[in-house]
Amino acid sequence: MLERPDPPMRTGIENSYHLLAPGPLSAPQNMALDDLLLDQPGWFLRLTRWQQPVVTLGRFQPWPESDDRCGFPSIHPCGDLPAPPGSLAAVRRATGGGAILHGDDLTIAIAGDCPSSVFSQRSPTAVANIISSKLSRLFEGHASRRGGDTREASMQHITDCFRRSSPSDVVVDGPRGPIKAGGIALAFRRGRVLIEASLRRDLLEAHPTDDLENLQRLGLLLGLPSAKSSEGDLGEPWQEQISRRVQQRFGDPIWNRG
């Protein structure tokens, strides 16, 4: 039912991490690239740039009907043409969780081995707590990890990730208590983990000019040594594999609708 992984592409520095910052990609291309990182050896920290505002949906999240959206924009599945006017394209992620509107946020992904020296337990809760603690430290003075013991399963009916509450949320202080400023979602496959994170730039003072520096700081916080950096064009081998996954899955409107 699921295709075998593509052959690994060598990053060149196996004990380090590869910082990927490609130019803006379509929603299916972005999700295909994250999915590809889950099957590649080595560590990757990745800046996600979008060609236009899009919505990503959790891997198994029910397609949101209009009554469920509670102010969330109208969406149509990526790959469906023609798109209804005023509707945003939506693509499924490989990771779980709820829907996220991208465009003004800081979107990043981390992929690496699990268990490993960075994530000693192959446990969603343990990995989520580690990564949200590190992410909140990127915005020292602004953010912290929510913590606590929120029962997230009771929030599955809520479409918008940012209306759900989780101990691994990155939060900032608001006049009526903590405000969710960042959420994460995970996927585990064959000894690897993929973490996708969306952080609200407005609440975290996360300026686009600082994105690469923040990713490098995150690498240090995770205990990863120096990076090989790839900005702009990813190159033909990557693009071929991304195209294949877009065709197989992320560009398919039926798959995206779920």
Partner 1 sequence: MSNIPKDRQYLSSHEWAQQVEGLVVVGISEHAAEELGELVFIELPAEGDEVTFDTQFGEIESVKAVSGLNSPVNGKVVEVNHQLVDSQAAISESPFEAGWLIKVIPADHSGLDKLLDAADYEAQLGGS
Chain positions contacting partner 1, by CB under 8 A = 1-2, 4, 58-60, 94-97, 121-125, 127-128, 151-153, 156, 166, 168, 184-191
Nearer to partner 1, 55 or 94 (CB): 94
Q: Which is nearer to partner 1, 119 or 139 (CB)?
A: 119
Helical H runs in 42-174?
Answer: 124-137
Q: How is the beta sheet containing 75-77 ordered, strand by strand?
A: 75-77, 88-92, 54-57, 100-102
Whole-number minimum distance, CB 141 to partner 1, in Å? 26
Question: Measured from the CB of residue 59, what is the shortest distance to partner 1 in angstroms?
Answer: 5
Q: Which is nearer to partner 1, 2 or 254 (CB)?
A: 2
Q: How far is the CB of 187 from partner 1 (least distance, A)?
A: 5
Q: Maximum distance among all alpha carbons in the chain? A: 51
Nearer to partner 1, 63 or 216 (CB): 63
Q: Which residues contact 191 (CB under 8 A, 6 or more apart)?
A: 113, 114
Q: What is the enclosing helix (H) or strand (E) of 237? A: helix 236-245
161 forms beta bridges with: none
- Please report how close the Cβ of residue 82 comes to partner 1 at its closest, in angstroms: 30
SS3 content of the chain, % helix, strand, coil (to 5): 30, 30, 45
Q: Give the number of other CB atoms < 10 A from CB of residue 19.
A: 22
Instruction: Let me know if 3 is exposed, middle or buried by CB neighbors in 10 A (0-12, 13-18, 19+).
Output: exposed
Place of tokens 């990890």: 145
Complex with partner 1: residue 2 or 81, whichever CB lies closer = 2
Q: Which two tokens stand for residue 126?
A: 């343990």
Our CB check for partner 1 shows the closer of 154 and 226 to be: 154
Q: How far is the CB of 83 from partner 1 (least distance, A)?
A: 27
Closest contact distance (angstroms) between CB of 156 and partner 1 is 6
